């Protein structure tokens, strides 16, 4: 490969990295991933997104100097790998947006579809794992700077609590903290997956990209055998279905899949455009602690609830400890369950599995 092509791949890698999502260091690994996915003849097209990550057809004609047919060739090819998002805006104008490497971009779309178990796909999975390891090492080395950055960034995802206690079949009790005085017109986004599902006419489901990625690394999930439980909604559903990353499903099938996810103790996490939780959801992940890319790492999560244990009802069985997504639930010296630390994300998994119905979710 010529030096000029290598330079183009490096520049393209930086432009993609600046498109949003989780910022990464442009390393040889990141560039190698790009070489696996993007052919050389698309590089000049990618480079035209340097100044503006979203462009209309007319803007692309001007920035690329290409006619509509050639632009569509690049768009269609790059959309198939999740690098270009091509959907109309609210005014009906088609917009072509460059996607980042991760959250939500190339990584998610690559492993959302069912990949064949081939040496090439295993190598791609290995490279993404190496990229993740390198990023974590950078975070550890520059921990204070990363922590300061996270404190000033919006939440990456939002936890949606479980709705019904598995042991009793009763709705999980949602309370308001007596010390909290919410605004009179406080508007919360959908607080159950049922509410969320009913909002959308277009719903698609694809493979959980985190678990699929781990499968190709011979590290299958310890919590569930299900794979097809990654949801997209509205415009995102239409895009993922059109590109073969997912399939469109009914609301009834969506709720059935989500119920199975809860039975397996998977935590619902919703994503919003540009990490803005005031905007309608674009997708839902159903996360475990052994495969989820954000489990146990430095991330920012939005939640409206935290778990609260009724010590008089708790029998100290430890079920909530076993199912806590963030290791927040522990048994105290009296053998009772207790929330420890500040990492509760209000998922309701502890309340869902509690056989005594001793745990409520408190609005904070």
pLDDT tier, 157 (very low <50, low <70, confident <90, very high otherwise): confident
Q: What is the pLDDT of residue 184?
A: 44
What average pLDDT does this structure show over 78-97? 96
Q: What CATH number is given for 165-186+304-364 in this structure?
A: 3.30.70.20
- The mean of the pLDDT values for the chain is 90
pLDDT tier, 275 (very low <50, low <70, confident <90, very high otherwise): confident
Q: What is the pLDDT of residue 185?
A: 44
Q: What is the pLDDT of residue 138?
A: 83
Please state whether the peptide bond connecting residue 104 to the residue before it is cis, i.e. omega within 30 degrees of 0: yes
Say which range, 55-59, 165-169, 199-203, 210-214, has the weakest mean pLDDT: 165-169
Domain map of the chain by residue range? 3-148, 165-186+304-364
Q: 3-148 and 165-186+304-364: same fold? A: no
Q: Return d(Cα 42, Cα 244) in angstroms, integer.
A: 20
* pLDDT of 296 strictly over 60: no
Going by the DSSP 8-state scheme, the letter that residue 57 receives in this structure is H
Q: For residue 34, is it left (φ>0), alpha (ψ between -120 and 50) or beta?
A: alpha
| Topology adopted by domain 3-148 | Arc Repressor Mutant, subunit A (1.10.10)
What average pLDDT does this structure show over 56-65? 97
Q: What is the pLDDT of residue 186?
A: 44
* pLDDT of 299 strictly over 80: no
Q: Where are the beta strands (DSSP E) in the chain?
A: 54-56, 84-88, 94-98, 157-160, 174-176, 203-206, 230-233, 246-249, 267-271, 283-287, 301-302, 305-309, 329-331, 337-339, 359-363
Q: What is the pLDDT of residue 15?
A: 96
Cβ contact 64:48 at 8 Å: yes
Kindly report, residue by residue over 20-56, the tens digit of the pLDDT.
888 888 999 999 999 999 999 999 999 999 999 999 9
Q: Return d(Cα 330, Cα 324) in angstroms, integer.
A: 9
Tell which wins on pLDDT, 265 or 188.
265
Q: Model's pTM, two decimal places?
A: 0.89
Tell which wins on pLDDT, 29 or 143.
29
């Amino acid at each position: 490969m010529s030096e000029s092509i290598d330079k183009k791949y490096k520049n393209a890698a930086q432009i993609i990295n600046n498109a949003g999502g989780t910022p990464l260091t442009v390393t040889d690994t990141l560039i190698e991933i790009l070489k696996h996915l993007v052919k050389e003849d698309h590089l000049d097209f990618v480079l035209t997104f340097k100044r503006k990550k979203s462009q209309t057809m007319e803007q692309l004609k001007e920035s690329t100097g290409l006619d509509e047919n050639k632009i569509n060739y690049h768009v269609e090819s790059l959309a198939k790998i999740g690098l270009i998002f091509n959907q109309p805006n609210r005014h009906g104008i088609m917009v072509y947006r460059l996607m980042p490497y991760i959250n939500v971009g190339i990584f998610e779309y690559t492993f959302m579809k069912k990949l064949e178990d081939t040496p090439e796909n295993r190598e791609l999975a290995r490279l993404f794992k190496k990229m993740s390891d390198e990023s974590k090492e950078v975070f550890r080395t520059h921990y204070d700077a990363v922590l300061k950055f996270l404190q000033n960034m919006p939440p990456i995802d939002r936890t949606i609590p479980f709705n019904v206690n598995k042991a009793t079949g009763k709705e999980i009790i949602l309370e308001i903290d007596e010390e909290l005085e919410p605004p009179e017109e406080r508007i919360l986004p959908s607080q159950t997956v049922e509410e969320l599902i009913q909002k959308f006419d277009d719903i698609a489901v694809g493979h959980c990209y985190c678990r699929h990625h781990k499968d190709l690394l011979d590290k299958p999930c310890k919590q569930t055998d299900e794979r097809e439980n990654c949801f997209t909604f509205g415009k995102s559903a239409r895009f993922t279905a059109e590109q073969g990353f997912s399939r469109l499903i009914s609301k009834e099938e969506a709720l059935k899949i989500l119920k199975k996810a809860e039975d397996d103790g998977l935590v619902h996490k919703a994503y919003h455009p540009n990490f803005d939780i005031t905007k309608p959801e674009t997708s839902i992940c159903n996360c475990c602690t052994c495969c989820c890319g954000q489990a146990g790492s430095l991330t920012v999560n939005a939640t409206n609830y935290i778990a609260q244990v009724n010590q008089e009802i708790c029998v100290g069985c430890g079920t909530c400890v076993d199912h806590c997504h963030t290791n927040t639930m522990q048994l105290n010296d009296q053998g009772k369950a207790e929330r420890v630390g500040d990492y509760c994300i209000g998922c309701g998994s502890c309340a869902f599995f509690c056989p005594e119905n001793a745990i409520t979710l408190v609005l904070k």
